[in-house]
Amino acid sequence: MLNLLMIAPLLGMIVKLDEIWNVIETTVIFVAIGLIVFAIAFLIVVLVAPFSVKKEIEEDQNTSLAIIIGALIIGVAMIIAAAIQGS
């Protein structure tokens, strides 16, 4: 057990230090693309809905609409994750 605790910090170093900037750049690019896609998807939902999404969720406590928007976010996240992995 003590041996496992001694090598635990070494297991966290997966990326070599000379390659860290490439990983950070790629991460920032994918985060930016992901946020843009999320914003576009949410904007489409707001524009297509014949009612105020903000009013329905915040004031009227419409749980079903919040679940639908949550499902939309999860679906877009799955698509972005598949694109990042290349599958």
DSSP string, 53-77: HHIIIIIS--HHHHHHHHHHHHHHH
In a domain, 5, yes or no: no
Chain center to CA of 8: 28
Q: 10 in a domain, yes or no?
A: no
Residue 3 in domain: no
What total of structural domains would you count in the chain?
1
Would you state the pLDDT for residue 87? 52
pLDDT in tens, 25-58: 888 888 898 889 889 988 998 898 888 888 888 8
Which structural domain range is residue 29 located in?
Answer: 15-85
First to last CA, the chain: 38
Within a domain: 62: yes
Structure-token pair, residue 83: 């694109």
Residue 44 lies in a domain: yes
Tell me the CA distances in angstroms from 11 to 20, 23, 51, one per residue in order: 16, 18, 51
The pTM score is 0.64
User: Is residue 85 over pLDDT 70?
Assistant: yes
Is there a domain that residue 2 lies in? no
Q: Could you tell me if residue 63 is inside a domain?
A: yes
